[in-house]
Homo-oligomer: A and B are copies of this chain.
């Protein structure tokens, strides 16, 4: 039993490095029917809000990401997850747009979640935290935008779980979004994806250091379980071809098989590293809650099984993007959304990007993807009367 705490727990979210936070005192009525108060959201902004407040873009992060889209991450010391796409002169141009990204409700980078202290009890929430949904995340984001004085967003952009949030925004607050760009996403989590999430949750819960969710109070960390969960998930983020090209059957720092259980193969070593580094930045209970939120997401079910009903009468402009080698959120998922949008006579564009990189393509340097998204954003900006993109 180790008492060594991962860095994320040592970090103080009120540390200025964690950036601004807003605390909503009015209770948030959750989809489950429970009320949650107070709700704190930690967020980052990039660029400048114009006088008309018409250039705001909300970026929604994926399962294990956070609000640190750009710059140096205060916990990992690495560059932000969106550096390839967000920045001055980049696709999401911080010279033109005002970008907001908040750590999701249930997250572990400063927003209210299971690892935070419940002020009512003075104890960490742990499993006493209510189960939250994608809709709850979006409700909290809407309140953050109220706080920032932003009535209408130019666009909501997100990949993977971020795409679910973007869709939820369009459905829940069509009057508050001009456009949405759900990338590599779905309108509901598939049976296979629920299955993979369940494996991850069971791996965490199987770790005695998880202590039925009370590890923080107990001074333990379910490192082994969380690492296994991450390893399993990580495979699903890459394509078989990407794994083959990146690692194949190449050996790790050796010329011959060891005939043992060391990481003989590079792919094993890589996965172990992915698992080990993840536990230093992510909270195990947050992983349970956020995967659950994704599993619960189903825009069709809550519209009588007819997805098109979710989009009826919508004036929102939609840009769907998928990647050919993404088997976690395959193109068929985006196509089903496009069909429903067409049936609802919505304004929708859809591009499937040729890529070997699997689901993770939405985080990587994919020129066709970037060009597609930039074209859509530029069009939206023009329609909204923003000045044309200047020279870099």
Contacts and interface: CB of A to CB of B under 8 A. Distances in A.
A198 B267 contact: yes
Contact of A201 (B208, B261, B295): B261
Name, among A192, A199, A244, the residue most crowded by chain B CB atoms within 10 Å (CB to CB).
A199
A16 to B, nearest CB: 35
A367 to B, nearest CB: 25
Interface string A162-192: 0000000000000000000000000011111
A288 interface: yes
Contacts of A271: 195, 198-199, 202
A280 interface: no
Nearest to A258: B131
A224 B206 contact: yes
A189 B243 CA distance: 12
Interface residues of A, number: 56
A191 B261 contact: no
A260 interface: yes
B301 A196 contact: no
B199 A235 contact: yes
A85 B178 CA distance: 59
Interface in A234-286: 235, 240, 243-244, 246-249, 257, 259-261, 263-265, 267-268, 271-272, 275
A335 to B, nearest CB: 15
Nearest to A191: B243
Interface stretch (A21-29, A225-233, A375-383): A225-233
Given A195-B235, A206-B206, A261-B292, 12 more contacts: A131-B261, A190-B244, A191-B243, A191-B248, A191-B249, A192-B240, A194-B268, A195-B243, A202-B231, A202-B272, A208-B208, A240-B327
Interface of A: 32, 34, 127, 130-131, 188-192, 194-196, 198-199, 201-203, 205-208, 224-225, 227-228, 231-232, 235, 240, 243-244, 246-249, 257, 259-261, 263-265, 267-268, 271-272, 275, 288, 292, 295-296, 298, 301, 327, 330
Which 10 interchain pairs have the tightest Cβ spacing?
Answer: A206-B224, A32-B259, A131-B259, A191-B243, A198-B268, A192-B240, A191-B267, A191-B247, A199-B232, A199-B231
